[in-house]
Structures are given as structure tokens and as C-alpha cells.
Amino acid sequence: MFADEMDILSLSRWRGTCRTNYHHASFSMRRSLTSRIRAFTPYPQELVDTVTRYGAVIGGELALSFFLRNETYEARCLDIYASHFHFEKLCDELLHSTSLQPHIAQHSVDTHSLYYALRRLVSASLVIRLHNSRVVYVHRSYTCSSSAPLTRAPCTALSNFVTGFSFGCSHPELTLAHRALLADRELVYLSTHDANSLNHLLSNKFSLAVAPTAWADYRRDMIENSLRNPEECWRERHICPKQGRFFGDRGSLVGYFDPLGNDEDRCTRGNIAPFGAMAVWRLMSSFECEGGCEHLDEVLDYGVTSIPVLFRKDPYGDLLDCILDKRLGVSPLYPRPPVNRALSSYNFTTHSNRAELIYKHVVPTSPPLEIIPYT
């Protein structure tokens, strides 16, 4: 069908023209996801349902191939990201599910060092090698947010997610143009898996850069009598590496496979991305913003690179609030120790999901933060 030949932006606009086109486009999106996962299992929808049921997300190369649609980029591995609390249950179900178990050649669990876990926000990974030489990775997030590791991806092209109901791309303007900003401060800590993903991007004609001005259409004209071209961060287009970002802001692309079928409500009730435990972050980049984005950003304080945040939809258009508290335990039933809450008000409404961030408690050098609903 010709809908399968459309890019993701054109398809999203086209399905809003009439009810018939809506169904064609929605089926095309669903078919695009399952056809890519079928390379790993003959029961792709069962795997997607399992991942979504545990609040996990599909990221990495497969999520990128979903957004690139009919292009030649092919995912060589399947990356699944689960929260710290749901990782073990998800792994157990995947290893015994009919969608994967008959096709597993071998599997192992790699436990990462604390230093790597703090840098990449991945504390452990289940590596499942299939009989067809494909590999499935199930990554354990270092925090309560399954999407937190996406914020520490080696480049923006790999900062995407897909669930059974929703999908999100952090930098669609760059990603769909085969461009990506590098998190160059993370390059010295790359795993072999991350390095292979970057090489795969380069082999598929992706352009990687640290600054947006590496591409000609993001450069300003030379100022008269100036010896250099001023570095522009392009904050207004949400591609400044020092800018605070989150899935659902005006620079991201967040959508649902069946919006008229209440997919958004399912995500809200089930705490499935882009709702629930998500993350607000800035790129781990050496780029020096001359516009003061890192110092004056309204989303993240100076020096903070990532914090988990609870995103909730407000059915009344008013604010729903949450508090982020430092937690020392790893069990969800671990008693909360007394802490001093540093409350600072941030009121902003996202472009697509109208989520609100009200309070935050940020200790950049502290253990990972866990979200405690405000009651």
C-alpha cells in the first residue's frame, strides 16, 4: 500500500484527513513496527504486548528504523529498556514466552560496573542470542524510569522509543534528515554495543556532529567585519545540546498508534511512555552554548544532566503535581528516609501530552532519584 511509502511525518498528517485514511495510516504504522520485530520473532505482537505490560520501551536501532520507515536502515539488534523494578520479571517472561523461547540459542546477564551504570544509566543487560544470529538486549535502567537510558544514548538518532500504544523521537528534525548530535563526552565510555550502533549509522550515511553549525543550513551569515561565524545554538528549534529536553516538548515527536482508540488514555492509566516515570535531560556534549542555555534553562538547573520525572495528564487543564525525593533503598517498599525537600516551581505545558512538572529535588551527586507521588 502507498501509505507504507510515506515518511512518518507525512503519514501522521495524512491520517488526520478522514476516517478511512486514519485507519489505513494507523495500520501502516502498526505493520511497520511488527514487520521489523518479525526478524527477531515470528510473534512480534506478543513480544510488543509483553514489553508494554511491564512499562518497558523498545529503543535503539529498531526504534530508529521504525521512524525512518521504508529506508534501507535495518536494525541488527533489538534493544528493550526496563525500569529497575520490572527488569527481572520482564526477563523471566521473555525467556519463557512462546515469542522468544523456542528461538533462543543462548542467553547471559552482563552486570555493568557502577561507573558505567552512572554514566550510561544501565546497570545490567540480558543478552539473548537467537538461532538466526540476531541479538535481543534487555537493559535494566539504573533508575525507576525505563526511558532514562535513552537520554544517555551516544547520539540523538538513538534517543527514540516505541511501545504497544505510543512512540516518541527526541530530535525528529535531525533524525529524519539523517543527522545526529553526538554526546561526545560519553564516547570514551562506549560499550562495544554502542560503538557498533554508531558505526551502523555511519554506514547508512548518517552525519554525526557535536554542534548544529556543522551543517550548512544551521549557520548564520557572517557578521560584518567579524573574523568568525558566531556559534548559534538554535534553541528555538530545540536542537541546542545544552538545552533541557523531554519527550513531549515542542522539539520532539510523540504519537500514538490509535489516538481515536484511547491509546493515550491507556498510556496515562498504565504509566506507559510518554507518561509515567520519564526523564528530563540535556545532552552530554562538550558544545559550549553562547546563548546561556545551560545556565538559564527553565527545565534543568546548571550542571544537571538528567533527572527522572513523573509525567501525568491533567484531565481538567490545571496542574497535577509530583515530588522527586532522594531514596536510598532499591525496593519499592523500602521506607522513605527523611530528607529536606528543595522545592522550586516550574510550570510548563508540553505541546502534545500536556504533562506538568511542578516540583523537583535535584542532588546531582546523589544516588538515583525515585519518584514519590505527591499526596
Q: Degrees (nearest 5) of the Cα angle 147, 118, 247?
A: 25
Q: What is the pTM of this model?
A: 0.82
Chain segment 6-55, per-residue pLDDT in tens:
999 999 999 999 999 999 999 999 999 999 999 999 999 999 999 999 99
Q: What is the residue-level pLDDT of the chain in tens, covering all 375 positions? A: 688 889 999 999 999 999 999 999 999 999 999 999 999 999 999 999 999 999 999 999 999 999 999 778 999 999 999 999 999 999 999 999 988 999 999 999 999 999 899 889 999 999 999 999 999 999 999 999 999 999 999 999 999 999 999 999 999 999 999 999 999 988 877 889 999 999 999 999 999 999 998 998 887 665 555 544 455 678 888 999 999 999 999 899 999 999 999 999 999 999 999 999 999 999 999 888 887 888 888 888 888 888 989 888 766 543 333 333 333 233 333 333 333 333 333 333 333 333 333 333 333 333 333 333 333
* Single-letter code of the amino acid located at 202: L
Each domain of the chain, given as residue ranges in start order, spans 2-373
